[in-house]
Structure 1
């Protein structure tokens, strides 16, 4: 007992109080902390929602409405969970792009980055299955479309789809499986997040200058604890605006109509945080290659530490890279917009051009630009 107490106090002190933190990090580093807060919020609200949810196609939609209308503060719990997913992805995307901007993926932090991308992949899986659970029109047809993509696999595709569904269509078995996994995966994400934090603290936090600093550091508490707390207050205020004034702004109106397998919505779209990947999927006319492109758009993020080809980490000292970085951000925003548009011209061509640029950025621009910058630096240093 004394050993456990000593271990807990030592861990608490080393990671939350006396952890040496670079003195020059700013609010862009608060989004890692906000991601942890979002994960906690989603887990807690999800547990309470699961107490009133019935994973059956005849009762799922009604159980959600019962939670909204009859359970004390059920509307608040449900809206917090639904909008919390959007806020979670918003914070996670900013956290990822901050890492890209300041080179937080470079050696020796490559494993921190890889674990982070794995967490992001788990988030995508969890959010997709959670979107199916309310059993509205978009839930049913979104699940049907996305799971049908597995049928693109040669020879075993159709069998894999039947295995995922547990039958010949998205039905009770599918809903039960998605509910079980949606409830379980957040705890896996929590465990993986602890690994992510441990690796971060082992290698040391980065900083806006992108240099290794071993002396210019201060304790995490009270300086950056107060800073993160202030960021949490700002985040809570913005979240509350969505929650109390625009709770359905980020959702889809068709999901307030009970699922009907006999009626197909005019335009099937996933949640907004999946739209860039969905746009890449639609940009490829061949089904199998479209699926490969969509999966590759996520997997390619794992190879960035090895595609980086310059010793300079931070974009503050890379003016040429900075231009391409903001072009990538603009490209992703446009892909998200195109993903929500109908499959017609000019959106098809625009999506194809942007998809090519997305992949070329990582496969050619990122490695080649580092070489160009190194040569320019050596030239001007002579």
Structure 2
């Protein structure tokens, strides 16, 4: 008996629940054998969450959450702390890559119907994780106290001022002052470093636990857990599944290794990504008297920021734009009840759903480009004499219609449209 076996036996005698937990969630958790590249983004999310927590701890050791010293403390980390520049770039790049993998992970769920019964709770928990991640990222964006951080905080928090009756009080309560300052930095630092990460970790555990109760989805949209039983791993094991460990974990290791190579290339050679990951204005100290030429949030918020901008003000208030932004997020956890189609996977759904899915993806990307100012720049470059604002607004509003139109269309299509679907196989196809 080797040392590892003796240690495992020693632990099992004193905490037998750990061994049972390992079997339930690893060696005896069976996943469909046809999972494709779209299913790698879940484990990448876990890797990036770990990266953000670890690098965030080291950054917090040298950060000073005060107006007088916040910007200088970040420069101290970058210039004087040994390997501080690497930790900071790993954290800032990790934040952007986190949203890349989260968006792709959510799109996969929509594409393959992973929000449908019996996985509604898994999807709802994932949507709450997304909302918590947005709050975490926004507060982290403010902490470097560059000029875009200051003005971004002022603009975004001021959106809450459109709430009827309590708007002004709500803005002052969030910022702790009439303008972003020491109170804002201190409370954002506490929430960013302690409160929200704890909530995120709890939500991720619940998300995974809920997933392992009902089983993973698959590209065919077949519920293999309740299908035929009996294969080489036991008579009660679904026939079209393999153990998560070691088979799926080996593939995950390969995907994580490739992803880390790409991430390392960005960190070492293009950490700012031309101003997309780290804006140029954020390398300038915060100045409430010097407004950046184009105030915009980080790229991962620009689709929702564009919705605020593109919905016209009514009676002198931007409340409807803010309501539209929050509605765009709230619609996501409601998808299991909006989509009443019987078929899960896009592979077997009707042509209307497939077209609508493409429209949703294009609209979301278009909103992101519009919110980042790219569309306005392209119009100005290609059509110098055109009215940039008019054409940019027309494009943005078309994208807003495309985004919300997806949910409206899906509701009508799956109730009254008599969706013509392809026959769904009883088992996973051979060759996987």
Q: Which TM-score band applies after superposition, normalised by the shorter structure?
A: over 0.9
Contact 1:17/1:220, CA 8 A, preserved across alignment: yes
My pick for the range that moved more, 233-242 or 339-348, is 339-348
Contact 1:141/1:264, CA 8 A, preserved across alignment: yes
Match of 1:91 in 2: 101
Residue 322 of structure 2: which of 291, 294, 302 is its match?
291
Contact 2:32/2:216, CA 8 A, preserved across alignment: yes
Q: Distance in 2 between matches of 1:207 and 1:171?
A: 48
Please state whether the residue corresponding to 2:48 is helix, strand or coil.
Answer: helix
Residue 298 of structure 2: which of 246, 271, 295 is its match?
271
Q: Distance in 1 between matches of 2:189 and 2:415?
A: 48
Match of 2:426 in 1: none
Q: Distance in 1 between matches of 2:83 and 2:267?
A: 13
Cα deviation per residue 1:105-136 (whole Å; 9 max; x = unaligned)? 00110000000000000000000000000000
Is the aligned partner of 1:203 residue 2:214? Answer: yes
Structure 1 position 302, deviation (Å):
1.0
TM-score of the pair, normalised by structure 1:
0.96
Cα deviation per residue 1:192-211 (whole Å; 9 max; x = unaligned)? 10000000000110011001
Cα deviation per residue 1:150-170 (whole Å; 9 max; x = unaligned)? 111112111111111112211
Is the aligned partner of 1:352 residue 2:408? Answer: no
Q: Distance in 1 between matches of 2:42 and 2:204?
A: 10
Q: Distance in 2 between matches of 1:35 and 1:19?
A: 20
Match of 2:268 in 1: 244
Is the aligned partner of 1:322 residue 2:354? Answer: yes
Structure 1 position 75, deviation (Å):
0.3
Contact 1:310/1:373, CA 8 A, preserved across alignment: no
Please state whether the residue corresponding to 1:237 is helix, strand or coil.
Answer: helix
* Aligned-CA RMSD value: 1.6
- State how 1:1-382 maps to structure 2 within 5 Å: 5-184=15-194, 185-214=196-225, 215=238, 216-249=240-273, 250-286=277-313, 287-320=318-351, 321-341=353-373, 344-363=389-408, 365-371=409-415, 374=418, 376=420
1:193 to 1:4, Cα distance in 2 relative to 1, 3 A = farther
Cα deviation per residue 1:249-295 (whole Å; 9 max; x = unaligned)? 12210000000111111100100000100111101122111110001
Cα deviation per residue 1:325-380 (whole Å; 9 max; x = unaligned)? 122111111110000115822111111121122112112x11223346645359xx
Q: Distance in 2 between matches of 1:319 and 1:4?
A: 55
Structure 1 position 319, deviation (Å):
4.5
Q: How many aligned residue pairs are there?
A: 378
Q: Distance in 2 between matches of 1:128 and 1:338?
A: 19
Q: Distance in 2 between matches of 1:377 and 1:20?
A: 28
Q: Distance in 1 between matches of 2:75 and 2:323?
A: 38
Structure 1 position 14, deviation (Å):
1.4
Any unmatched runs of 5+ in structure 1? none
Q: Distance in 2 between matches of 1:339 and 1:191?
A: 32
1:14 to 1:376, Cα distance in 2 relative to 1, 3 A = closer
My pick for the range that moved more, 367-376 or 182-191, is 367-376
Q: Distance in 1 between matches of 2:22 and 2:162?
A: 49
Q: Distance in 2 between matches of 1:164 and 1:371?
A: 42
Q: Distance in 1 between matches of 2:80 and 2:113?
A: 49
Q: Distance in 2 between matches of 1:138 and 1:318?
A: 44
Contact 2:112/2:346, CA 8 A, preserved across alignment: yes
Any unmatched runs of 5+ in structure 2? 1-10, 226-237, 377-387, 423-432
1:248 to 1:357, Cα distance in 2 relative to 1, 3 A = same
1:360 to 1:200, Cα distance in 2 relative to 1, 3 A = same
Cα deviation per residue 1:63-96 (whole Å; 9 max; x = unaligned)? 0000011111100000000000000000000000
Contact 1:309/1:368, CA 8 A, preserved across alignment: no
- Structure whose alpha-carbon radius of gyration is higher: 2
Structure number with higher helix proportion: 1
Structure 1 position 6, deviation (Å):
0.9
Please state whether the residue corresponding to 1:21 is helix, strand or coil.
Answer: strand
